[in-house]
Structure 1
């Protein structure tokens, strides 16, 4: 399978993460307030570990979260994409996205999710992609619903809504 490792959207360059990205990504992945609806890295070393483990999975699975680079200024503003979570395994392929607070509300997450779902549907031909959203994260829920995801159920022990979206074929989801 010949998967493009780098993807461009109208405003973003989505590329495999590098350990040298860790300081820029840690600005938000390590910010407890920015990551209040999910896991925050405690240290720069733990952020590097997250990147390294996911990049190892890219070599194995053919996909992993990208570093999102804003084209206009070359700044790393986000991290996300498709992944089988190595830290909470067993859920299958998920889509996730995390952005610097300066980039919130600008539509970057929607661009990233659209690119990820195109990869899932057209290149990887995954039968389904899943996602999780904290109940207080209405913005994330809207992004997923716009991309065709549906709530499957609430998972109390995770305090998350579990979403799923079947593969789009010939422009039709499912």
Structure 2
């Protein structure tokens, strides 16, 4: 990962296989390709329209200016293709949970280890770059792969939130 921990002005991060960058308006069409796909988003929020996806991305970018972090557009480093959206954020649409980590990938790249790489990078940045003391994550009861990934990364189930139909997991630093 190429980051200078002495400055918070760095906005793009690189890992072995990923480039994590703030969202741009021209990214929304590719993001909507999976964020608006019911099958791809079966365990989480689906954007019903392109306008809803655009709004979600833009509101999160406003929060990046406020908090210093928001979901990144995730590109595969080898070809610069957008394959996901996620990372550390404060949810503007369901506030009150504090900093969270989440990830949404295009189905074409599921099972290739990108979630693990994003989560590992997010945890490192949360602790050492942003100075966070805890992260929250939510997982649908049927999303066993995501729950395994979170637990393997040190998250512990704290509660089940019936109104969300999600387990709430926490990880302290």
Instruction: Give the whole-Å Cα distance in 1 for the aligned partners of 2:155 and 2:11.
Output: 24
- Which of 133, 148, 156 is 2:154 aligned to? 148
Give aligned pairs, total. 167
Return the TM-score normalized by structure 1. Answer: 0.93
Unaligned stretches of 5+ residues in structure 2: 1-5
Unaligned stretches of 5+ residues in structure 1: 168-174
Corresponding position of 2:54: 48
Return the TM-score normalized by structure 2. Answer: 0.94
2:66 paired with 1:60: yes
**SS at 2:154's partner residue?**
coil
Q: What is the aligned-residue RMSD (CA, Å)?
A: 1.0
Runs of 4+ in 1 over 3 A off after TM superposition: none
Corresponding position of 1:2: 7
Corresponding position of 1:110: 116
Contact 1:7 1:115 in 2 (8 A): no
Residues 79-158 of structure 1 mapped to structure 2, 5 A cutoff: 79-158=85-164
Q: In the TM superposition, what is the alpha-carbon distance from 1:2 to its structure 2 partner?
A: 2.9
After superposition, the C-alpha distances for 1:20-55 in whole angstroms (9 at most, x for unaligned) are: 100110010000111011110011111111110000
